[in-house]
Amino acid sequence: MIKYVIKSLAYSAVLFVNLAAMGQTSNWKAEWIGLPHAPADTNVWTAYHKVYQLKKIPKTAYAKIATDSKYWLWINGRLAVFEGQLKRGPNPRDTYFDEVDLAPYLVKGKNTIAVLTWYWGRDGFNHKNSGKSALLFEAALGNEILQSDTTWKALRHPAFGHSGPPRPNYRLPEFNIHFDARHDLPHWQLGEAGNGMWLSVMSYGIPPVGPWNHLEKRPIPLWKDAGLVTYENKRDLPAESTGDTIIAKLPKNISITPYLKIDAPGGLKIDIRTDNYKGGSEYNVRTEYITKEGVQEFETFGYMNGHEVRYAIPEGVKILELKYRETRYNTEKVGVFNTDDSFYNVLWKKSYNTLNVNLRDAIQDPDRERAQWWGDAVILLGEMLYACDGNSHLAIQKAIRNLVDWQKPDGVLYSPVPAGSWDRELPAQMLASVGKYGFWNYFRYTADTAMMHYVYPAVKRYLNLWEFGDDGLLVHRPGGWDWLDWGDDIDAPLIENAWYYMALEAATQMAELTGHQADIAGYQEAMESIKLNYNRLFWNGSSYKSPANHGVIDDRGNGLAVIAGLADRTKYDAIKKVLENEFHASPYMEKYILESFFIMGDAEGGLARMKKRYSNMVESPLTTLWEGWGIGSAGYGGGSYNHGWSGGPLTLMHQYVAGIAPDRPGFETFTICPQLGILKEVHCITPTVKGNITVDIKRTDRGITLSVIIPPDSRARVGIPRIAPELSNITCNGKTAVAHEEDHDYYYFEVGPGKWSFALF
């Protein structure tokens, strides 16, 4: 066995404590409070109430709030937080808390604080159950402190209960919502619940205390709440139900909570779900509402997603209002991409729509799993960096820290995390996560050096788990789930060695950045071994194919060989022929195959394959992209129509078609080298940590114009495409200009902040 030399990391208890302590808040005064329940209790809804006399309204009044699993907060009867709390946890033991400014809701004198908590009581692919329902509340009100203690009152909300079957699939910790309005307490938020219903709470202690342990401040914003709005087809919705299911149209696929206001007799059951109730071929979440007598209104608190809401309302019920509330991750679209071919414009838009519903407690799909698979997160990471404002970086940071902070004592990394019912390693996804397209890609775009210091020890420990064989290549590591991609004809040695090579490349750069120079020689030795033997054993003169592969040539492995830098330019023409004829990858790996075309300088080929592969998704009336090339039984893994990994083309359009990519980390310097293929016009805006970059390109038979806006404190190397040999005259801002450098593909200019307009004719 060949073992490359990387010094092992001493994973001391001190280091573990230091990492775990990041983001924690100590010196709590509040107590965890609650009503006792049996350990096996699940789906518990608890209402908390406190009256507080305030002498003076402070300018700010920040409250720290925590529970397991979700909460809703009212101040003086006004809704202040809709669905607070992140799913547990920042690591396998601890719990997040929210910070909320209460000042806009407070009044002088009597203030009523009301909190509704929803305790799931079970693990999921995205949640670690603490085992106990409770509330923690501490607010700094000027010089006064309002804190949860045994003076608070609580009750089990009697209207909530368990739905009948079918119930959400085993991956989800959430339950269906069952609400019987006959047992509702309509004014409980103001303390009006009836004699004897409010009970004294029990104190479970001051943090840090089990089972919630240390508390870490929520690292991402509270949800963007659009409030209650009407459906797209409001005018077509009936005033009285005929008994047929009412289809209420949403503007696109979004995450929502449905609302109704009706006049009905008591005891009727109304079912509320979306068209995506069985998205990914598994049951997700729905709502059962039992009517009371008379006029009533209800909003279900468990979020759903889809293109339409389906209300099954019994015949004769008068429908006064049907509305919905969109809640989403609080980031805004900044990126723009438009070109003269509408196909790519629609694909960009659907990629972004998919990204929008794939952000919540984690980077996750919104339906059957709601789980942070890191292979998906790697691709979504690139999309966020090119399309969203800086709040999206917080979701990336959380995802990175989750992966590192859930690392097993033996060094294994696994996802999805946070998780209570999953702990299996997907080795190839972990290599993608810690490598060139994962952690290091985040650093290239943000220059977040502190994060690289934080993750490097975990990256090093994980890479040390892999071994080399006598052939100088990796020994296959099956992990907990030996998964490389959906689809057939997977050439595992090609894919695995390429991912490890890119992880080593990133580790080398991390080691240099973080002052671990002694590790670099071992990484480089391993990279040299892979590159030499990969080409010696896998290249057959016309393609990469491992001796173990007795099937067809794998497009995935050949594409990865290019983006990893294992294939040199002499092999490009042969590889392009492979990629023009082999189509085995799922949308997950397709992103990397498409990227290889641009790296090989064949934008026309990359755009053509993109159009071939994504035509069904672009032509579909659905507004998001799918897990596979089909939906349901025609797709992979359940056939969800919400899968962020399919949005990789968004990144490629910015990075290669518009040509915008960082040179030095954080866009201190960057390149703008467009690869237009057959496209004639491109308008692109890319957000960066320095500011927005704008690129406008127009090409005609007479030449090309390229206008760019460079943000402050950065410099760009702009490449003017050499579109025809006879075109060589260049102007910059209307004056004759001479390129600083040129090659076969571009005339290059170095420019600083401001607007620059180039013309080649």
Confidence of residue 17 (pLDDT cuts 50, 70, 90): very low
Give the type of residue at 422.
Answer: W
SS3 461: helix
pLDDT attached to residue 633: 86
Residue 71 phi/psi, 5° resolution?
A: -145, 160
The string of pLDDT tens digits covering residues 346-364 is 999 999 999 999 999 999 9
Q: Mean pLDDT across the chain, nearest whole number?
A: 95
Instruction: Please state whether beta strands 215-217 and 95-101 pair in parallel, antiparallel, or not at all (unpaired).
Output: parallel
Helix axes 492-514, 555-564, angle to 10 degrees: 20
The answer to whether the beta carbons of residues 279 and 642 sit under 8 Å apart is yes
Q: What pLDDT, on the 0 to 100 scale, is given for residue 35? A: 98
194: nearest Cα among 38, 47, 35: 47
pLDDT tens digits for 43-85?
A: 999 999 999 999 999 988 999 999 999 999 999 999 999 999 9
- Tell how far CA 221 is from the center of its chain: 14
**Is the model more confident about 440 or about 21?**
440
What percent of the chain is modeled with pLDDT above 70? 97
pLDDT tens profile 691-713: 999 999 999 999 999 999 999 99
pLDDT band with cut points at 50, 70 and 90 for residue 24 = low
Take residue 664 and report the two structure tokens written for it.
């030095």
Summarize pLDDT for 571-606 with one digit per residue, the tens.
Answer: 999 999 999 999 999 999 999 999 999 999 999 999
d(CA 694, CA 672): 10
Average pLDDT over residues 207-236: 98
User: Which pLDDT score is estimated for 25?
Assistant: 58
Quick one: pLDDT at residue 23?
53
Confidence check: pLDDT of 18 > 50? no
pLDDT digits (tens, 9 = 90+) for 141-177: 988 999 999 999 999 999 999 999 999 999 999 999 9
pLDDT at 8 over 50: no
Residue 15 — pLDDT band, cuts 50, 70, 90? very low
Return the bridge partners of 81, or none. 73
What integer is the mean pLDDT of 118-139? 98
Closest Cα to residue 444, out of 631, 241, 651? 651
Cis ω before 221 (30° cut-off from 0): no
- Note the pLDDT of residue 1: 34
Q: Are 643 and 586 in contact (CB under 8 A)?
A: no
Q: Distances in Å between the alpha carbon of 655 and those of 54, 201, 720, 724, 755?
A: 54, 56, 15, 23, 20
- The pLDDT of residue 345 is 98
Count of CB atoms situated within 10 Å of the CB of 228:
15
Select from 589, 693, 651 the least CA-distant residue to 380. Answer: 651
The answer, yes or no, to whether residue 26 has pLDDT greater than 80, is no
Q: How confident is residue 36, by pLDDT bands cut at 50, 70 and 90?
A: very high
Which pLDDT tens digit goes with each residue over 494-526?
999 999 999 999 999 999 999 999 999 999 999
pLDDT at position 196: 83
10 has a pLDDT exceeding 70:
no
Per-residue model confidence (pLDDT) at position 16 = 34
> What tokens does 471 get?
């052939």
Give the Å distances, CA to CA, from 426 to 368, 433, 482, 665: 19, 11, 6, 29
**C-alpha span between 238 and 327 (Å, rounded):** 26
Contact status, residue 577 vs residue 591, Cβ threshold 8 Å: no
